């Protein structure tokens, strides 16, 4: 089982709709979760972080975490063409070497917002 | 402005040649990381450093080497032993690797190709 799984997409939504991006992880001791946006040819950019079960909202973005189901999602409301990008889920857990946290990335979901 | 600077943006390597990718940060972050990204793949950790003069192998360290002589600098050398070096290389930093709420922030990346 892969450590962090995302649907590769592409996920296509019309402008103004809600885009829902999902991520599951295999390690129950994972403790913090990040969503990064990566435009084509560019580097990843942090957009959300979440540590506790429930929802966390920041502008048009809402991150949702369910540790019991090992599931984290990102909702983008009022999607805009400028939101078209690959969204990477990253899961943080204490490393097996016992000296630091380790961040593991999913392969990303490509989102296309159609005008 | 504070940030992470990677250079060069594009790099070409000849067979049997070692090349060095530069990464400099002025964020006063303790932890620095090198990742490799291949098309359609997630980010894979090459090396990381939690403190000056100390670094650890990541998941795919073979064929790579690093140094951390200064807090702000973490250069990556791609050696001739790395048989498939063509990829997008990303340097990241975080305030510390010992707290779960510290995200990693990325430089703009270096694209390495074989001549």
- Residue B87 bridge partners (DSSP): B112
Confidence of residue A100 (pLDDT cuts 50, 70, 90): confident
Above 80 in pLDDT, residue B1?
A: no
Q: Tell me whether A23 touches chain B (CB under 8 Å).
A: no
Instruction: For residue B43, give the nearest of A21, A10, A3 by alpha carbon.
Output: A3
Q: Are the C-beta atoms of B68 and B53 separated by less than 8 Å?
A: yes
Point out the residue among B31, B42, B100 whose CB comes nearest to the CB of A31.
B100
Q: How far apart are CA A42 and CA B3, in angstroms?
A: 15
| Omega of the bond leading into A10 within 30 degrees of 0 (cis) | yes
Counting one residue from chain A and one from chain B, the pairs whose CB atoms sit within 8 A come to: 53
Give the tokens for residue A48.
Answer: 């959300």
Sheet holding B4-7, edge to edge: B4-7, B19-25, B76-78, B64-66
Following DSSP, what letter does each residue of A40-91 receive, concatenated?
A: TTS--EEEEEE-SSEEEEETTEEEEEETTTTEEEEEESS--GGG-EEEEEEE
CB atoms closer than 10 angstroms to residue B61: 16
Give the tokens for residue A33.
Answer: 């979760």
Contact A44 B40 (CB under 8 A): no
Tens digits of per-residue pLDDT, B37-95? 998 788 999 999 999 999 999 999 999 999 999 999 999 999 988 889 999 999 999 99
Q: Which residues, 6+ apart, have CB-to-CB distance to A3 below 8 Å?
A: A25, A26, A27, A91, A104
Point out the residue among B50, B105, B107 whose CB comes nearest to the CB of A100.
B50
How far away is chain B from the Cα of A24, in angstroms, using its nearest Cα? Answer: 14
Contact A4 B31 (CB under 8 A): no
Q: What is the pLDDT of residue A30?
A: 81
């Amino acid at each position: 089982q892969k450590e962090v799984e995302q649907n590769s997409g592409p996920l296509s939504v019309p402008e103004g709709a809600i885009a829902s991006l999902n991520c599951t992880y295999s390690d129950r001791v994972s403790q913090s979760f990040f969503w990064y946006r990566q435009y084509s040819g560019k580097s990843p950019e942090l957009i959300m972080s979440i540590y506790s079960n429930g929802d966390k909202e920041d502008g048009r973005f809402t991150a949702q975490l369910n540790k019991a189901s090992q599931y984290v999602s990102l909702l983008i409301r009022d999607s805009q063409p400028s939101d078209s990008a690959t969204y990477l889920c990253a899961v943080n857990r204490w490393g097996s070497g016992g000296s630091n946290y380790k961040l593991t990335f999913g392969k990303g979901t490509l989102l296309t917002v159609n005008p | 402005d504070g940030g992470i600077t990677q250079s060069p943006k594009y790099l070409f390597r000849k067979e049997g040649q070692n090349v060095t990718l530069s990464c400099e940060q002025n964020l006063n972050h303790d932890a620095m990381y090198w990742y490799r990204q291949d098309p359609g793949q997630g980010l894979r950790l090459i090396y990381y450093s939690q403190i000056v003069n100390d670094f650890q192998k990541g998941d795919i360290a073979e064929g790579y080497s690093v140094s951390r002589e200064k807090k702000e600098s973490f250069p990556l050398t791609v050696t001739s032993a790395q048989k498939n070096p063509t990829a997008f290389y990303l340097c990241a930093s975080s305030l510390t690797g010992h707290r779960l709420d510290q995200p990693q922030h990325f430089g703009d990346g270096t694209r390495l190709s074989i001549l």
